[in-house]
Structure 1
Amino acid sequence: MTTGNQIAWDDTVLPFQLDASDIRGRVARLDGVLEQVLKQHDYPPLIEGLVAEMALLTALIGQSIKLRWKLSLQVRGSGPARLIATDYYGPTEDGEPARIRAYASYDAERLDENADPFSQIGQGYFAILIDQGQGMTPYQGITPIAGGSLSACAQTYFAQSEQLPTRFELTYGLSQLAGEGTHWRAGGIMLQHMPKASPEMKGEGGSGEDGLLEATDILDEDEGENWNRANVLLDTVDALELIGPSVAPTELLVRLFHEEKPRVFDPQPVKFGCSCSADKVRQSLSIYSAKDISTMITDAGTVTADCQFCGAHYVFDPDTLGFEANDESA
């Protein structure tokens, strides 16, 4: 695969279907998106890895949402990696890129850089939120932190909250092509069994950690055979096939699933993008009184705000903020 083809597939999500198995999926490769996400902050390597994994999950999951919808993933834990939050904004028009942004909050003094990154999250929850737009009630689903990775948490979420058997195979890290510097790259595949009208649960509880549901708790015998076969095939994928420049996603699907009759759909380009604006910051401060606003004034006589996702810096005249704002100076 040439460099030109490599660039064409970077920052792209390719949806597909395995017609012989009743399974759908997506292949994602992120390059410039991760660079843009991570360069906004000086994260330690451990946190960078968690953010990269979360951004890749967000791209794979987000591709299915409709135009102009917003999907958010959040992990909150009791450990030093307190919060990882990502947003996926569906394209405003067909053919346009979707936008991804990500942010992490952590306690640097408690962080153990030599520990397994996932262990630094501790106990907490994994959540998916979908905002369908103005006038619609946002959807929110939450499951406990479980498994040994963020992708395992996502798999548990889909089994527990959506009754959809789901599998992720991800690779991410610093990469370097000949003659170039190092930069972050990620690639992954998501498999998901087609939803059933009324999934039947086996037994009273799940077979996963703390009784949470897993794929085998949801599928019947025939579906289980199809699911297991697709997963065995996915187990054979090599990290370089997911992340390297030599194998196109279309070629990879044929390598892995040619007997399952893979069928691809239109790819979805993604890019880094933030939705923050001065108007949104002003709106968020509209709940405060002039007295409250006065406590936020800096030595320079202004009120400032920074976007946690993109680092944008906003400066306001305090008289223009809050529900008692002076309209003439706004």
Structure 2
Amino acid sequence: MTLGAQIAWDDTVLPFQLDHADIRGRLARVDGVLDKVLSQHNYPAPIEALVAEAVLLTAMIGQTIKLRWRLSLQVRGSGAVRLIATDYVAPTGDGAPAQIRAYASYDAEALDLKAAAFDQLGKGYFAVIIDQGEDMAPYQGITPIAGGSLSSCAETYFAQSEQLPTRFATAFGRSTLAGQDERWRAGGVMLQHMPKASPHAKDAASGEEGLLAAGDLVEGDDAENWSRANILLDTVEETELVGPTVQPTDLLVRLFSEESPRIFDAQQLEFGCTCSEDKVRQSLSIYSAKDIGHMTLDDGTVSADCQFCGAHYVLDAKSVGFEAEQDGKE
């Protein structure tokens, strides 16, 4: 495989369908996007790992939904890891890339660098928020943190909130290619039974803490198809998931040749942030002049930093808030 072919599949999501099993899926490779996300911050290793997994999940989940604007994934915990947040901004047109950004909040003093990253979330919830833009009410689905990974949380979310049998296989970490610097890579496969195949859940839930699991949502031939696809996915190796020397199309044929895999147009990904000075002004518009005064620096300005991309905004204090003077002038 040539280097050019390798790079062509970096930062892409490839949709596919298993016609014999009535299952749809996504195969994602995230390289430059993930490296760009993590380079905005100086996270310790456990936080980097959680952000990497969250970015990969967001890429696959976001591409399954016909968005007008944005899908957000949020994981909030009570432990040393307080928040993992990601956004998937839909493409603006045919052939345009989708944009992804992410950040984490954590208690550096409480974080154990030797402990499993996921275990340091503690109790909390996993949420998917879909914002379709102006004049559209956002949708939010929430499930408790469950399982031993963010992928398990996502599977529980789809079973519990959407009643869609869903499975993720993911791999991520630092890698070094010949002649290149070390950088983050991630890859994964998402399987999801078509919605019409699982309209009702069984009476008993088999998941952690009484939550629904994928197997609770299928029966008969659907259950056999789902089980067979999962067994095949279990044979995937981490190096196959992250690439870069295994093409996604070759991997799908290797895993699911008997299920008649059918691929669709790949979606390109890029790092992108939607922050702007106008949005900072809008966020400050709820404050009075007195409130703005408490935020004002000695030089008469108010500053704000974007948690996602690190952009730094400096505004004239007189020009922000609902009592603002136009352009800071009388």
Native 8 Å contact 2:197 2:222 kept in 1: no
The 5 Å alignment of 1:129-278 reads 129-196=129-196, 199-203=199-203, 205-278=204-277
Native 8 Å contact 2:10 2:31 kept in 1: yes
Aligned residue in 2 for 1:294: 293
Native 8 Å contact 1:65 1:90 kept in 2: no
Native 8 Å contact 1:10 1:29 kept in 2: yes
Whole-angstrom distance in 2 between the partners of 1:67 and 1:214:
26
Report the alpha carbon displacement of residue 181 of structure 1 after superposing the two structures with TM.
1.4
Report the alpha carbon displacement of residue 299 of structure 1 after superposing the two structures with TM.
2.2
Aligned residue in 2 for 1:97: 97
Aligned residue in 1 for 2:25: 25
SS of residue paired to 2:51: helix
Report the alpha carbon displacement of residue 94 of structure 1 after superposing the two structures with TM.
1.1
Whole-angstrom distance in 2 between the partners of 1:168 and 1:184:
19
Whole-angstrom distance in 2 between the partners of 1:197 and 1:115:
40
SS of residue paired to 1:43: coil
Report the alpha carbon displacement of residue 66 of structure 1 after superposing the two structures with TM.
2.7
Whole-angstrom distance in 2 between the partners of 1:245 and 1:206:
39
SS of residue paired to 1:180: coil
Q: What amino acid is aligned across from residue 129 of structure 2 in structure 1?
A: L
TM-score calculated relative to the size of structure 2: 0.98
Report the alpha carbon displacement of residue 67 of structure 1 after superposing the two structures with TM.
5.0
Which consecutive residues of structure 1, in runs of 5 or more, have no partner in the other structure? none
Native 8 Å contact 1:67 1:93 kept in 2: no
Q: Rate the CA distance shift 1:197–1:254 in 2: closer, same or farther, 3 A.
A: closer
* Alignment RMSD (CA, Å): 1.1
TM-score calculated relative to the size of structure 1: 0.98
SS of residue paired to 2:25: strand
Q: What amino acid is aligned across from residue 291 of structure 1 in structure 2?
A: K
Native 8 Å contact 2:280 2:304 kept in 1: yes
Q: What amino acid is aligned across from residue 46 of structure 1 in structure 2?
A: P
Which consecutive residues of structure 2, in runs of 5 or more, have no partner in the other structure? none
Whole-angstrom distance in 1 between the partners of 2:28 and 2:252:
12
Summarize deviations over 1:65-102 as a string: whole Å, max 9, x none: 33532000000000101000000000010110000000
SS of residue paired to 1:95: coil
Aligned residue in 2 for 1:60: 60
Aligned residue in 1 for 2:42: 42
Aligned residue in 2 for 1:125: 125
Summarize deviations over 1:161-193 as a string: whole Å, max 9, x none: 000000000000000001211100000000000
Whole-angstrom distance in 2 between the partners of 1:299 and 1:17:
60
Report the alpha carbon displacement of residue 328 of structure 1 after superposing the two structures with TM.
4.6
Whole-angstrom distance in 1 between the partners of 2:25 and 2:312:
39
Summarize deviations over 1:84-134 as a string: whole Å, max 9, x none: 000000001011000000000000000011111100100000000000111
Aligned residue in 1 for 2:108: 108
Q: What amino acid is aligned across from residue 130 of structure 2 in structure 1?
A: I
Q: Rate the CA distance shift 1:35–1:198 in 2: closer, same or farther, 3 A.
A: closer
Alignment: residue pair count: 329
Whole-angstrom distance in 2 between the partners of 1:254 and 1:328:
60
Report the alpha carbon displacement of residue 329 of structure 1 after superposing the two structures with TM.
3.0
SS of residue paired to 1:113: coil
Moved over 4 A (4+): none
Whole-angstrom distance in 1 between the partners of 2:237 and 2:152:
19
SS of residue paired to 2:309: coil
Whole-angstrom distance in 1 between the partners of 2:215 and 2:12:
31
Whole-angstrom distance in 1 between the partners of 2:300 and 2:114:
44
Whole-angstrom distance in 1 between the partners of 2:197 and 2:181:
50
User: Kindly, what percent of the aligned residue pairs are identical?
Assistant: 70
Aligned residue in 2 for 1:86: 86
Aligned residue in 1 for 2:315: 316
Q: What amino acid is aligned across from residue 4 of structure 1 in structure 2?
A: G
Native 8 Å contact 2:318 2:327 kept in 1: no
Report the alpha carbon displacement of residue 198 of structure 1 after superposing the two structures with TM.
6.7
Report the alpha carbon displacement of residue 206 of structure 1 after superposing the two structures with TM.
0.8
Report the alpha carbon displacement of residue 298 of structure 1 after superposing the two structures with TM.
1.1
